[in-house]
Chains A and B, each alone.
Chain A
């Protein structure tokens, strides 16, 4: 007793802090979530409920809500199905086979994920639009007066863009589970007399089911909250909830209706997110991380070769053709720069790129695209740091069984669309006592919230897969808790940490929805700048948007290459 008393006497204040340091570690991410997620969303709900009570629930309002809601669900279902149809075989091929050009293909599959929706939209426009590469080629070949391919503003194009955009998610999630799947399980089934089809149904699919479900839900969520693609490719006929919120809030200035739509969307997506988070409740099959490449081999026999070659060709066509069209179109002049009359000589040009660096004095909102790129990079770095530190704290906090409830909590931002978040930020931080909307740091905060669920989702399973005995072994060998983390947790998690970093960095670079609400006119990001130029008339502005989209594509590509190198 004397001993304990003496120890307490010696450091009355120090003991307080060491005892509660652990509490701060898991309270910090909760506070972050509370201030920047629940508070703004609460404000959105408050606005919507207030309005619904004062206005009443008329047929008119119901129609304004039901139409976008039904369309949102419909297109998300279709998109998810199509994405799985392409993504599952692609995940299989990439997880199990080595083939020439695989590395290139893997880097390519990360591209659509990091490209802003707006770039994807512009790219598909440059490929399939009325003045896109394919139409121009067809018109020249058959001497046609009008573009033969009329796919702009159709549901088909929206679906295609969604498939392009989300196949990567299926490849990442399912492919990673697939490559970590113990192949001896399948071999054991083979030896026990199961044909390869039987093995697929009885062993592989059941073991992959959690990851397939997770990927499907995630893809569905992304399609459900799709914004840029529908805004730019769907035209006026197609409005998802997200687009409708944007239109009502920023164009009709009808904040209450925007709030109501947001509240309805939130309910839907939060429900989906809770389901998605519950998938994680099933005890993950512990898999010791294997070296990359183990268990992959070149295809054998003509059937495997055909599958691999076919899959690679389809992926290449889907992933490369819009991007190549974008790059090509950004250096091709087809009509007069500013709509002047007279003959135009079609050909290659660098005009659009040269224009990016020219500061046009006639516009006060004009920011050189170079500056926009610099803004984007700074925001992306801040986002990476913020979401990784919050993600790490959160993941470690949830490791304890008693704090499992935090898991669902940190998946919630996934369910809130970026546009809704942006609306909430405006509602909350635009008021006198807390007028901080003018601070540029709100952008990386919003980006971090978007990225946080991905970071948590990436880090958590790896952390849980580390057997406790590894840590105990290290501790017994004399490693302090900090050393244990450094020598055991970090090396095992390194790949997951890098993946998280890539995810948050690229999510920030590409984020458009929240940024469109929060970015100050003089601090645009690249996606915002592209959108601005795209909405201006004339071939020169269209060309500049294409050029910027190409630049952003390159910036994303370079950053992903750097990080790809780091992870080897």
Chain B
């Protein structure tokens, strides 16, 4: 439905977006994931028509949106800090978009009530928006964006300013809302947890380019690059080189590893690669293995309820983290064996 084609945009003389392309299908929620300053919000504003790109196209059902002004696009945008109109009440804020569609008063009232009901804010209708808490403002902003039944909903870091419990609760609600309304949505965030929870598809932005596209499971299972892995919160990354191809063997400074899967495209023999070692799927080694084992000094063991997080210093430069069911004593040597499926060869 929405097609974003090769968008270029400069900000303050520096390139911000350098040829970003992606699409949003019917009823699909796409998460734009990237660190702050990666141009996610600008991309949303370009799609909304609030900003013009230097190059590139925004297509809706194959139709170029360039000539259509902001207010005729019928795209909903929820602003990062909500941008609720301070001189209007909660109900008036939600009614705003409906009045622009020149609906009758009765229709507007019904739709406002319905929208506020959806976000559990019906009781707040006559209140001033300036009296609301952050979470309440967030809900009103969502109701306001949804009320005119936009053909595309864009959310710019909607949970960014809220505390963790509220966030988790609102993620659930948002998820349900996006599922039930079936409105295609673009959700911008820098938080991979939010993105994983909500996205049908992830679009990861890095340095103004699309780093990786895929379902949350695909992206989590196989980050496209060391940068992507690090951004997703994986810290066990080791540089190595391809030693053999069938089966794949990678030599590193802390040993030789045999990942379960071959990366695509297949790397050349001797080419440099990065290994991602997942912190789960390890156990204490009973006897000595030739491959897929790491040894080092236990640096710390943190109790995390159902498991211990172990820091293992393999060399002076390389320190890895693992989750184990049992504690290890800091200062002692330990040898761990890693399941092949927990080792991913990147690039």
A residues lining the B interface (CB < 8 Å): 182, 184-185, 187-196, 198, 202-203, 206-207, 285
Whose C-beta in chain A lies nearest to the C-beta of B147?
Answer: A192
Return A467 CB to nearest CB of chain B, in Å.
13
Is B316 in contact with chain A by the CB < 8 A criterion?
no
Cα distance, A181 to B86, chains bound together (Å): 11
The stretch that binds A, out of B93-101, B177-185, B239-247, is: B93-101
- B87, A191: Cβ atoms under 8 Å? no
Provide the residues of chain B in CB contact with A203, threshold 8 Å.
Answer: 85
Question: Of B81, B83, B100, which contacts A193 at CB under 8 A?
Answer: B100
The stretch that binds A, out of B54-62, B66-74, B113-121, B302-310, is: B66-74
- A194, B85: Cβ atoms under 8 Å? no
Whose C-beta in chain A lies nearest to the C-beta of B100?
Answer: A193
Cα distance, A196 to B70, chains bound together (Å): 10
- B86, A207: Cβ atoms under 8 Å? yes
Return A177 CB to nearest CB of chain B, in Å.
13
Sample of 9 further A-B pairs with CB below 8 A, known A185-B86, A195-B69: A184-B81, A187-B70, A189-B100, A191-B71, A191-B75, A192-B144, A198-B100, A285-B86, A285-B130
- B83, A187: Cβ atoms under 8 Å? yes
- A189, B96: Cβ atoms under 8 Å? yes
Return A419 CB to nearest CB of chain B, in Å.
39
Provide the residues of chain A in CB contact with B96, threshold 8 Å.
Answer: 189, 192, 194, 202
Cα distance, A553 to B294, chains bound together (Å): 82
Is B79 in contact with chain A by the CB < 8 A criterion?
yes
Whose C-beta in chain B lies nearest to the C-beta of A199?
Answer: B71
Question: 17 A-B contacts, Cβ less than 8 Å apart?
Answer: A182-B83, A184-B83, A188-B77, A188-B83, A189-B85, A189-B100, A190-B70, A191-B50, A191-B76, A191-B77, A192-B100, A193-B97, A193-B100, A193-B148, A198-B100, A206-B87, A285-B87
B residues lining the A interface (CB < 8 Å): 45, 48-50, 69-77, 79, 81, 83-87, 96-97, 100-101, 130, 144-145, 148
- B71, A190: Cβ atoms under 8 Å? yes
Return A464 CB to nearest CB of chain B, in Å.
14
Cα distance, A408 to B48, chains bound together (Å): 46
Given A191-B50, A194-B71: A185 and B83 within 8 A (CB)? yes
Question: Of B45, B79, B100, which contacts A194 at CB under 8 A?
Answer: B100
Provide the residues of chain B in CB contact with A196, threshold 8 Å.
Answer: 71
Question: Of A188, A190, A191, A198, which contacts B85 at CB under 8 A?
Answer: A188
- A191, B70: Cβ atoms under 8 Å? yes
Question: Of A190, A192, A195, A207, which contacts B148 at CB under 8 A?
Answer: A192
Whose C-beta in chain B lies nearest to the C-beta of A191?
Answer: B77
Whose C-beta in chain A lies nearest to the C-beta of B48?
Answer: A191
Provide the residues of chain B in CB contact with A285, threshold 8 Å.
Answer: 86-87, 130
Cα distance, A207 to B129, chains bound together (Å): 14
- B85, A184: Cβ atoms under 8 Å? no
Provide the residues of chain A in CB contact with B81, threshold 8 Å.
Answer: 184
Return A469 CB to nearest CB of chain B, in Å.
14
Cα distance, A191 to B74, chains bound together (Å): 7
Cα distance, A185 to B71, chains bound together (Å): 14
Provide the residues of chain A in CB contact with B70, threshold 8 Å.
Answer: 187, 190-191
- A187, B50: Cβ atoms under 8 Å? yes
Whose C-beta in chain B lies nearest to the C-beta of A194?
Answer: B100
Cα distance, A187 to B96, chains bound together (Å): 13
Most buried by B among A202, A206, A207: A202
- A190, B87: Cβ atoms under 8 Å? no
Return A416 CB to nearest CB of chain B, in Å.
33
Cα distance, A91 to B71, chains bound together (Å): 25
Provide the residues of chain B in CB contact with A192, threshold 8 Å.
Answer: 71, 76, 96-97, 100, 144-145, 148
